[in-house]
Structure 1
Amino acid sequence: MPLTTLIPSRQKLSAKIVGALLGFLGLALCAIGVTLYLSWQLEGSAAAINDTGSLRMSSYRLAIVLSQSGTDKDMAARQALAARQMGQIDATLAQLQQGDPQRPLFLPPTRAIHGEFERIGSEWRRELRPAAQALASGQGAGGLQSYLAHTDRFVARVNALVQLIERDSEARTFWLRASQLALLALAMIGTVSLIYLMFSLIIEPVTRLHEGLHRMKEKDFEVRLAVDSGDEFGQLAQGFNQMADRLQALYGKLEGLVQTKTAALEHQNRELALLYDSAAFLQRPQPVEPLCQGFLQRISDYFQADGGSVRVLDAGRDNLHMVVHHGLSPKLVEREHCIKVGDCLCGEAVQKKVTVIHDLRKLNNGYELECRREGFATVSVFHIYAHQQHLGFFNLHFRTPRELDAREQGLLETLGQLLGTAIENLRLGAREREMAVSEERNLVAQGLHDSIAQGLNFLNLQVQMLDQSVRDGKLDDVAEIVPALRAGVQESYEDVRELLHNFRSRLVEGNLVGALETTVDKFRRQTGIAAELVADVDGAPFPREQQLQLLFIVQEALSNVRKHAGASRVTVRLKDSHDFLLSIEDNGAGFDPALLEGRGDSHVGIHIMRERAQRIEASLSLSSTPGVGTRIALTLPQAHRRAA
């Protein structure tokens, strides 16, 4: 039966053990109860013997008191003493008749003992007590001898009762010892029985199971255990036999299974190696042709393909351009270097967006015979995707028929996604570089407009004025215009030199403070203005892009100081802790910020600095007071800092 079969409650090992223990417990409790009951009765009988024996002493004391003579005063004392003795005998008889479970005290429950006790009580109440009362009151002085003889008979009856109780106690003592011996025998028999039960129910099955496991450990898969019970050990034996059957069958096929698993692991390792190698190769910065060529070479070597190609989709024209190929004849490449979506087998696969593996032996259409003329028997088509966007496909050509299983197809589809991601990253990188160049050219144009264009416009006006003065023969005006032209040309020349220097600025190993020191030092030497850099750097390093933008902002600010401020001192402060703070202060002429806001973006220098600050997610503020100076402050919060 299967291991999940429910075991009847009466056959369970726990039920058997609990039943045996409860049986022995019941017998032990019965024996102990009998022993306790007999002991309790013996204690009560012993107390009854003591109290019954005390009747003899009390009777004799009463006889002694009654036999005494004396004066009337002595008579009163004798009567009181006799009354006390009679009361004591009455109390003893009442105590024996009622019993006292607390002591314990009671007469044994036999007819002979209770009959004798009734006769003793009756004799005391009817004969002996009235005679004693008469003697105590002095009315029966002549009957003293008769009373004493009656007392001897009463004591004899008491002795007889005591003997009956003692014989009963002897019998109960015998049964008490017998019950104790029975309890001892029960303990011995129970212990032996429990040991036998444990051996038969637990130890023996466990021993058989252990021996079976040991034999199986020694590769004896023929071993089987006898199922001779329906309890848990019976199910364990049956499960052991089923396990032995399974192990015997598996061990016979173990070598084949090991070879199969080894081959599967080797295949998986080769797949992982191909994926890792392809992913590492596709992450290298390289043009698209070497990228596709290296990818195609790797998958062709892995699948032992005789040829292959990679095509990229031109979605605007529905053209499929062959980027790289190998193993194909020049004629086939020339004919199919560019195909339309929907043409040929590959074009149909692109149109339907399905993975296709063609067996060319079963195809007879004219345009489908070109690959077969090349000697290929199987052509596969796998698509190149990136972010749900179809970018093209790649082929694998086989000269011998080849079927790709589901695992190989899944591997090739994954590789197609890796190639698509790499191609898309190349395109995105090119677009990013194009945008960066465009943005930088825009800033360059703005810088030229703010410096060279304005200077050239001034020179153009001066030349026109010079031409008009020459025509009019106004030599005095010519003498005034020529120095202005010379100063304008010199200023434009200095602007060009400054712009060229700024455009060629580079960071040495990403050291922002060093680049700023070089910039401030050159500004100081070229302009003669006292310039100082105060740097307190304790923060994490910036990436190069952010450092370059900060350097350009400082250069632009110093250029504005040179052109417009007329300052004698400039201080560049850099504080890099939790937040990054950069300020450029001068003591020049200053200006009214409201006038600058009214000009909007016409002041290109300030506009360029703000654009550069926005690129690195920093905020730029400007404060100035006419006659006092100008301060430009840039703040970059910790939350917007990028990791270097």
Structure 2
Amino acid sequence: MNNRGALPPRHSILLVIGLLMTSVVILGVTGMLTSIVIAQINQGMATAVNQSGTLRMQAYRVGVALTDDRVPLETRRERARLLAAEYDRWLISERLTAVLPDQATDPVRLAYEGVRVRWVKEMRQAVLGFIDAGEEAAASLAETAKYLDRVDDFVAEIHALVRLLEERAERRIRLLRWIQAIALALTVTVVLVTLILVQRRILRPLGELLDCADRIRRGDFSTRATWIGHDELGRVGAAMNLMTEGLSDIYRELEQRVADKTRDLARTNRSLALLYHTSRALEKASLSDSVLRGVLEDFREQLGLVDLRLCLRDVPPADAPASGSGDSPDEIPAETPDNSEPRARDATATSGPSVIGFPVGELGHRFGTLCATLPPGGQLESWRQPLLESLAGHLARSLNLKARIDEDRRLALHEERGILARELHDSLAQSLSYLKIQVLRMEVALSVPQDAPRDAREPALPPASAILSEIRDGIDGAYRQLRELLTTFRLRIDERGLATALSGTVREFQDRANLDIDLVDRLPAGLLTPNEEVHVMRIIREALSNIVRHAGTRHGSIHLERRNGGIDVLITDDGRGLADEPVGRDHFGLRIMRERALSLGGDLQIESPLDNGRGTRIRLHFRPRGLVPEGAATDRDRPGETPPGASTTETGITDEQDT
């Protein structure tokens, strides 16, 4: 296949610029490699020069050691021996020999060998002769004179070696300088050529193409690019001219499509706004005739219908809720069992309008039909039908919600009545029964004459005054139960939840009984249902009441937390504890708490006394419905485990005397 995208090498801008950039890179790399190589070769040269200078100084130090008359002769000999040994080490040190060339004929190598040979054969021999002269002063002086006569020439040879090393280093640096200068000049030349090429073959054509593109962006499709050469940008210019011609045709077509889509979008926005307004109207206001009439009228005007009616089942004509045509309620037909199924009626055959019905129902329950009347000869457009179906769905949900709210209110009313009856039966009714028994005992006691002998009275019958005292105590207890029942029935857990209600209860007992209560609530908000919150609240209040009456302490604590897949409620005090067999109201209060725990499907445990011999701990553990897996049964759902008379929304804590 012929590759039409390939360009001749001489026409390709990318190839030319690539070659120029490659040249710059090669020059730069060459300069850097040369610098690295010369720096590597020159490495240690400065150290070698310093080492050579040290040899000169060391030669004079040896001469000073030989001629220093201020110290004993033996000391001078020992110092001369040490300096000579040190000179040997410095002369063959790697710091100096590492930079020497390997060629035997190299001037630097020859100069070094001359210094080394002269030191070994002449200078060191003179030092050794001085050391080995013994006690002969003349021999020592002769060797010293021999060393001193030769030391200047020896130092001159060392100086020549240092000069050669310095010249060698300077030559290498000059070579590096020339190489860097040449590479820099070539690099600058290549860069200038590249800039000129970029200016002529890239920037200028590219500016023209960008100007052409900018005019096209502003909608001027008559513009054409003049740079249409054989390189890449020339081909881009030619392609842009072809593209502009095509865009001119496409743009006209798109303008028409955009206008159509804009109309559709505006209609969709109006439809969404209408649905939103309808949803808000049905949610915020109570479902009344005026609300439904307003909703239907809005839809009728928006959709251009002749009439829009809501026909409900089993509703008398006078009570039919709404119509969108302005008719009075008497003129709105209610749906009867005969026309329970939705249907569309085409009345064009009788020169009448077309009527289309939409079912209004939810979850298998049918509330009625939404009847839309079209103009004569009109058709229901595709965008109108979803709106009418959505309206029917909103109406069905609103009607269903209203029915559920009414049903919930009825159930709540029956449930509250049952709760009230149970609380009265468990508290006041038993107290009144107790008082009735005491009255019977009083009648028996009063029937016996006061002056009758003691043997004539009932042996176990107490005096009338004692029975009267018991009746008075019973009346006081019943009155106290009535007050607590009234307080309990007034207690409510509002939308702020259990935490707020618990805080209020703690403050109430702190103010009323001067009780110090620590509240630790680690339960997440919304975990318990309202029914569960009420039961937990009642148990806590009953436990706090027991602390106030019997514990003999001023401190208690309440802990609520999740544990072992359920909820733990701990009420603890450090008082006297409970008796082994609680009597009277204590027995009744504990029984009520256990019944509430069973109604929650949980368990109530009472520990008293605790490990320290004092205090009471009441522990309630249950699994709330929010933590029960879907489909799993709980203790409260199993038959036979809910105590008789236990209600799902009990709201009372009562006082009771044993009868």
1:283 aligns with 2:283: yes
Tell me by how many angstroms 1:273 deviates.
Answer: 1.6
1:532 aligns with 2:515: yes
Counterparts of 1:10 and 1:361, CA distance in 2 = 67
Per the alignment, residue 583 of structure 1 pairs with 571
Larger radius of gyration: 1
Per the alignment, residue 323 of structure 1 pairs with 321
Counterparts of 1:401 and 1:380, CA distance in 2 = 13
Query: Secondary structure at 2:542's aligned position in 1?
Result: helix
1:499 aligns with 2:485: yes
Counterparts of 1:404 and 1:470, CA distance in 2 = 93
Please, which of 372, 381, 384 is the counterpart of residue 360 of structure 2?
384
**Equivalent residue runs for 1:314-463 within 5 Å:** 322-327=320-325, 329-330=327-328, 333=331, 336-340=333-337, 343=339, 347-349=341-343, 356=344, 358-362=345-349, 364=350, 377-386=353-362, 390-398=366-374, 402-436=378-412, 440-463=416-439
CA deviations over 1:227-263 (Å, ceiling 9, x no partner): 9999998986786455434433355567655543443
CA contact (8 A) 1:452 1:495 kept: yes
Q: 1:470 to 1:386 in 2, by over 3 A?
A: same
Please, which of 572, 577, 592 is the counterpart of residue 605 of structure 1?
592
Structure number with higher helix proportion: 1
Per the alignment, residue 273 of structure 1 pairs with 273
CA contact (8 A) 2:313 2:335 kept: no
CA contact (8 A) 2:594 2:604 kept: no
Tell me by how many angstroms 1:410 deviates.
Answer: 1.6
Per the alignment, residue 515 of structure 1 pairs with 505
Tell me by how many angstroms 1:583 deviates.
Answer: 0.6
Q: 1:204 to 1:492 in 2, by over 3 A?
A: closer
Q: 1:567 to 1:378 in 2, by over 3 A?
A: same
Counterparts of 1:637 and 1:387, CA distance in 2 = 31
Q: 1:392 to 1:519 in 2, by over 3 A?
A: farther
Tell me by how many angstroms 1:484 deviates.
Answer: 3.6
Task: Tell me whether 325-334 or 509-518 shows the greater mean CA deviation.
Answer: 325-334
Per the alignment, residue 244 of structure 1 pairs with 244
Counterparts of 1:267 and 1:411, CA distance in 2 = 11
Scaled by the length of structure 1, the TM-score of the pair is 0.50
Q: 1:282 to 1:490 in 2, by over 3 A?
A: same
Tell me by how many angstroms 1:302 deviates.
Answer: 2.9
Tell me by how many angstroms 1:216 deviates.
Answer: 4.1
CA contact (8 A) 1:11 1:231 kept: no
CA contact (8 A) 1:570 1:584 kept: no
Tell me by how many angstroms 1:360 deviates.
Answer: 2.6
CA deviations over 1:288-341 (Å, ceiling 9, x no partner): 656644543442343344543334457xx9x9x94333436458636x324225
Counterparts of 1:449 and 1:268, CA distance in 2 = 63
Counterparts of 1:549 and 1:402, CA distance in 2 = 62
Query: Secondary structure at 1:409's aligned position in 2?
Result: helix
Tell me by how many angstroms 1:493 deviates.
Answer: 2.2
Task: Give the length in aligned residue pairs.
Answer: 427
Q: Name stretches of at least 5 consecutive residues in structure 2 with no aligned partner.
A: 20-192, 450-455, 628-659
1:573 aligns with 2:557: yes
Which letter does structure 2 place at the counterpart of 1:607?
Answer: R
Question: What is the percent sequence identity of the aligned residues?
Answer: 24
Counterparts of 2:211 and 2:552, CA distance in 1 = 103
Counterparts of 1:340 and 1:232, CA distance in 2 = 80
Q: 1:407 to 1:398 in 2, by over 3 A?
A: closer
Q: 1:218 to 1:635 in 2, by over 3 A?
A: closer
Which letter does structure 1 place at the counterpart of 2:430?
Answer: Q
CA contact (8 A) 2:312 2:334 kept: no
Please, which of 1, 6, 13 is the counterpart of residue 7 of structure 2?
13
Which letter does structure 2 place at the counterpart of 1:405?
Answer: E
Q: 1:463 to 1:204 in 2, by over 3 A?
A: closer
Tell me by how many angstroms 1:605 deviates.
Answer: 0.8
CA deviations over 1:598-637 (Å, ceiling 9, x no partner): x9x997412344257x39xx87432245996643234699
Tell me by how many angstroms 1:499 deviates.
Answer: 0.8
Q: 1:209 to 1:326 in 2, by over 3 A?
A: closer
Which letter does structure 2 place at the counterpart of 1:583?
Answer: I
CA RMSD of aligned residues (A): 5.7
Counterparts of 1:575 and 1:481, CA distance in 2 = 44
Counterparts of 2:8 and 2:621, CA distance in 1 = 79
CA contact (8 A) 1:383 1:393 kept: yes
Q: 1:536 to 1:397 in 2, by over 3 A?
A: same
**Equivalent residue runs for 1:542-581 within 5 Å:** 545=530, 549-558=535-544, 567-569=551-553, 571-575=555-559, 581=569
Query: Secondary structure at 1:633's aligned position in 2?
Result: strand
Counterparts of 2:482 and 2:355, CA distance in 1 = 62
Please, which of 607, 622, 627 is the counterpart of residue 606 of structure 2?
622
Q: 1:570 to 1:610 in 2, by over 3 A?
A: farther
Task: Tell me whether 269-278 or 544-553 shows the greater mean CA deviation.
Answer: 544-553
Tell me by how many angstroms 1:570 deviates.
Answer: 6.5
1:631 aligns with 2:617: yes
CA contact (8 A) 1:306 1:399 kept: yes
Query: Secondary structure at 2:580's aligned position in 1?
Result: coil
CA contact (8 A) 1:512 1:547 kept: no
Greater relative contact order (Cα < 8 A, sep 6+): 2
Counterparts of 2:239 and 2:478, CA distance in 1 = 100
CA contact (8 A) 1:570 1:587 kept: no
Counterparts of 1:275 and 1:416, CA distance in 2 = 11
Q: 1:494 to 1:209 in 2, by over 3 A?
A: closer
Counterparts of 2:249 and 2:293, CA distance in 1 = 50
Query: Secondary structure at 1:404's aligned position in 2?
Result: coil
CA deviations over 1:430-459 (Å, ceiling 9, x no partner): 445555555555544443333222222223
Counterparts of 1:380 and 1:622, CA distance in 2 = 69
Scaled by the length of structure 2, the TM-score of the pair is 0.49
Tell me by how many angstroms 1:359 deviates.
Answer: 4.2
Please, which of 451, 473, 488 is the counterpart of residue 487 of structure 1?
473
Query: Secondary structure at 2:322's aligned position in 1?
Result: strand
Counterparts of 1:14 and 1:386, CA distance in 2 = 75
Query: Secondary structure at 2:323's aligned position in 1?
Result: strand
Q: Name stretches of at least 5 consecutive residues in structure 1 with no aligned partner.
A: 1-5, 26-191, 350-355, 525-530, 594-598
